[in-house]
Structure 1
């Protein structure tokens, strides 16, 4: 028997230190909510966990981009609806101007209101904007468009082109209506209404695509978050159990070390009594 080194006590102490580390890890995991707080916790899975975290963040950013783009389209569509309402009122006034019972003064009043509506259409076209991006592109003519690239995903090719039209009164064909030429004026208003309807139809198609993409990203994000949670999030019930088990073993080790430290002394007492 060796009395210089109490190997049994050293073995218990080594186990005691190991249990202390496990208990400390359980407390840390429970407090942070993560079971991968450093690379040494699980070298084989830390990389995958971080990759999934990045995917979640990029999906969230893409979803925000989609929401912003959709909000812009909704803003533009609201202004186009008002322009459409203005054209309807303009047509109503033009039809009224064709009544044979109106005198020149009556027609002048109608013309003044039509001119006011033209200015209103131009106001919607020129002043409607979203974060500095204007509804109407004055550099275009007819139904020609300029395009703005909008990101709708987290990959390089996940984007779409947003068209911008010139929806000023002059470009849509109602900039020079004359109540004295009812037939031509009505034809111009109908063409303008058709153009505004085409623009709204294109924006409506874009909104449908944006909403579908947003739903897809939401479902995809949920799946990625679930996978990342399984890898990196702490199971609170498991951590509580590990802590309780660790505390029990730590306390047991303390008791065992106290007893084992008496072994050399007991041995010496036995040897002292040997005659």
Structure 2
């Protein structure tokens, strides 16, 4: 086979371009830290990365829901703690007013404090989180309790947050009808009890006050039971947050293993490709020799 100068030059240019492409690829991996810059580099790895990123995005959404639910439950627990303190103070005043040794002026002072305690209970019942009433059920934009009456304006809707695949949901809210002991007529028995205490104090009915102490104890037991339920949910969400954090770490590690380049190997390959590139330039300088025209100038 006859070998011409044109064939030598063409083969040299092809080899030269191949060496240059390998050099560029390694330089790109070194600068980005990634071994994949386009799907054609490794289609299987690209498909795996897409699946991992989808899982990470879903995990991030679950994490945001868990954080939101944790904050909601923390606000709820704080409100229930305040309500329990108010009931405890109410009980102390009821015991004080039932001993029969207080003057009418002293009884009036207790009446005034009972009124303030009831007003504060209503304020606790209207606690908001992120602009939503936490005790209103689904009616999160409706104020559930009012100082003008003892009725409940919310509903018994349960708000659930999804925190995992397969419909893993947790109810984050506690409805006001459960906390404030709302009866079938929509009236809060807790607030009615506060009115009854005020009436008994106004009339000086010590026996009625003694009987109402048991009602106060029942309301406190109810609030404590609800608070225990909230605490159990909060503990579960803590476990879910830890799991989601571990999942995110594992996804990140898996994505890094799938996409990141071995920098030590890349540097070694880059040095080798640089040497090959320089050798190809030297070889090309010898292949493309001066022609007859160069001597005729």
What range is the shorter-chain TM-score in? 0.7 to 0.9
Of 174, 177, 191 in structure 2, the residue corresponding to residue 164 of structure 1 is: 174
The alignment partner of 1:151 has SS state of strand
1:32 aligns with 2:32: yes
The alignment partner of 1:99 has SS state of coil
Report the equivalent of 1:149: 160
Report the equivalent of 2:234: 207
Partner Cα separation in structure 2 for residue 205 and residue 172 of structure 1? 24
| Stretch moving more, 39-48 or 29-38 | 29-38
Q: How far did 1:87 drift?
A: 1.0
The alignment partner of 1:101 has SS state of coil
Q: TM-score, normalised by structure 2?
A: 0.80
Partner Cα separation in structure 2 for residue 29 and residue 184 of structure 1? 81
Q: Unpaired runs of 5+ in structure 1?
A: 270-275
Partner Cα separation in structure 2 for residue 109 and residue 46 of structure 1? 75
Report the equivalent of 2:259: 232
Report the equivalent of 1:272: none
The number of aligned residues is 262
Q: TM-score, normalised by structure 1?
A: 0.86
Q: How far did 1:10 drift?
A: 3.6
Q: How far did 1:95 drift?
A: 1.0
| Stretch moving more, 219-228 or 2-11 | 2-11
Q: Is the 8 A contact 1:172 1:195 kept in 2?
A: no
The alignment partner of 2:158 has SS state of strand
Partner Cα separation in structure 2 for residue 197 and residue 230 of structure 1? 50
Partner Cα separation in structure 2 for residue 171 and residue 146 of structure 1? 20
Structure 1 residues 156 and 171: CA distance shift in structure 2, 3 A? farther
* Greater relative contact order structure (CA < 8 Å, 6+ sep): 1
Report the equivalent of 1:66: 66
Structure 1 residues 184 and 33: CA distance shift in structure 2, 3 A? farther
